[in-house]
Amino acid sequence: MGSEETSRIRVSPQVARIVGPEAARDLKLSAARGALPLSGVDLVTVLLVFGRGADVELRALARKTLRELPVSLLSPVVTDSSVSPALLLYVARERLADQSLVERLLQNPATPDDVYLLCARQCDGPILSMIASNSARMQRLPALATAIIANPHADRALKYRLGWLDPDDSPKADEAESSAEVAAEEPVIDVGDDGDEEDEERRLSKYQKSLEIGVSEKIKIAMTGDKEWRSILLRDANKLVSSGVLKNPRITIGEVVSVAKNKTANDELIRIILLNKEWLKTYEMRRALALHPRTPLNKALRFMSMFGEKDLKAVASSKDISAVLVNNARRMLLAKANKK
């Protein structure tokens, strides 16, 4: 479905009364703020109409509201196959960073190609794997493979699977020939390679296998596999698979800290980490969790109470962290200064 197909949308009579030219200004403003008792589809439809309109104030309010709507309200909308493709595209553009919502969106057969292309260009590992696993869509839309390969967040193994050729892997015959001429009289000793290429091939093979096996087998491997398997399956779109990795007795604290530092880690992974008292003993872990967007606010604030001055200053000056945490860091710094 192209952009022309996603530019038309049918609206309910209730939506028409709100967005029509005769509607009162106060009514439109209330709707743009999400303050009217509308169903999920009607609410998002209103936000779409205002978000694409010429009225600057309504457009800004509509976009802000859509970005703040809870996933629980948007999920039934993005999974509804009868919803307009234009509406699905609008949600995708405003909530692209919300992995759980994007996953649901990509499972909807009505989701237009424009959404897939948007995700292929800008999303990271789990979403890209999910797109690449949709063989019908990949075959029908070759531009998806091109977009994933060009995406800086794409995993090398996934790019190889899609036909990418690493420039560093190209033959270097000219260099070898030149070196041979310079050192013609020197003895040649075969010292073998450092195993990097072999490791990459082995990891690629495992990644390919992960795309072919079923969920139950993935879960089993996640709970028993080696570090390579854990790295691959942590990024699996299925939460049962990715969370199974954290139940693997061989997982190291370093791997868990890496999960906590990954801002795209899903809420189930963060929930499991928060339940493990042993993992929470390290300062690095508490710091990572405090700054993670899916950590409940009360827990994030508790972890912040243990922060050193350097970390508090970093949070206090950050523009990418919740305003609640930023203000809390500033209060803590002020309290420390008063004590001194």
Q: What is the pLDDT of residues 291-302, one digit of tens each?
A: 999 999 999 999
pLDDT at 192 over 50: no
Most confident of 169-173, 179-183, 264-268, 287-291: 287-291
- Residue showing tokens 């509607």: 23
Question: At 324, which amino acid appears?
Answer: V
Residue 223: the pLDDT is 93
| Rounded Cα gap, residues 63 and 17, in angstroms | 20
Distance separating the N- and C-terminal Cα atoms of the chain: 64
Residue 26 is encoded by which pair of tokens? 């106060």
Q: pLDDT tens, 11-56?
A: 888 888 998 888 899 999 998 998 888 888 899 999 999 988 888 8
Q: Is the pTM of this model over 0.85?
A: no
238-287 pLDDT tens trace: 889 999 999 999 999 999 999 999 888 889 999 999 999 999 999 999 99
> Across all residues in the chain, what is the average pLDDT?
83
Rounded to an integer, the average pLDDT of 222-228 is 91
Mean local confidence (pLDDT), 297-315: 92
Instruction: State the pLDDT at residue 204.
Output: 58
193 pLDDT above the threshold of 90: no
Residue 176 pLDDT grade (very low, low, confident, very high; cuts 50, 70, 90): very low
Query: How far apart are alpha carbons 247 and 297 in whole angstroms?
Result: 25
Which band of pLDDT confidence, cut at 50, 70 and 90, is reported for residue 166? low
CB 312 within 8 A of CB 298: no
- pLDDT of residue 221 exceeding 80, the answer is yes
Integer Cα distance of 49 and 59 in angstroms: 9
**What pLDDT sits at residue 8?**
62
Q: How confident is the model at residue 156 (pLDDT cuts 50, 70, 90)?
A: confident
Say which amino acid occupies 330.
R
Q: Is the pLDDT of residue 327 over 50?
A: yes
Position 72 scores a pLDDT of: 87
Q: Which three-class secondary structure string do you get for the chain?
A: CCCCHHHCCCCCHHHHHHHCCCCCHHHHHHHHCCCCCCCHHHHHHHHHHHHCCCCHHHHHHHHHHHHHCCHHHHHHHHCCCCCCHHHHHHHHHHCCCCHHHHHHHHCCCCCCHHHHHHHHHHCCHHHHHHHHCCHHHHHHCCHHHHHHHHCCCCCHHHHHHCCCCCHHHCCCHHHHHHHHHHCCCCCCCCCCCCCHHHHHHHHHHHHHHHHHCCHHHHHHHHHHCCHHHHHHHCCCCCHHHHHHHCCCCCCCHHHHHHHHHCCCCCHHHHHHHHHCCCHHHCHHHHHHHHCCCCCCHHHHHHHHCCCCHHHHHHHHCCCCCCHHHHHHHHHHHHHHHHHC
Q: What is the pLDDT of residue 126?
A: 83
pLDDT for position 129? 87
List Cβ neighbours of 109 (8 Å cut-off, separation of 6 or more): 81
- pLDDT tens-digit map of 112-126: 999 999 999 988 878
Closest CA to 62 of 88, 37, 44: 44
pLDDT at 169 over 60: no
Domain boundaries, the chain: 1-95, 112-166, 221-306
The reported pLDDT for the residue numbered 198 is 53
Indicate if the pLDDT at residue 226 is higher than 60: yes
pLDDT bin (cut points 50, 70, 90) of residue 100 is confident
**pLDDT (0 to 100) of residue 203:** 55
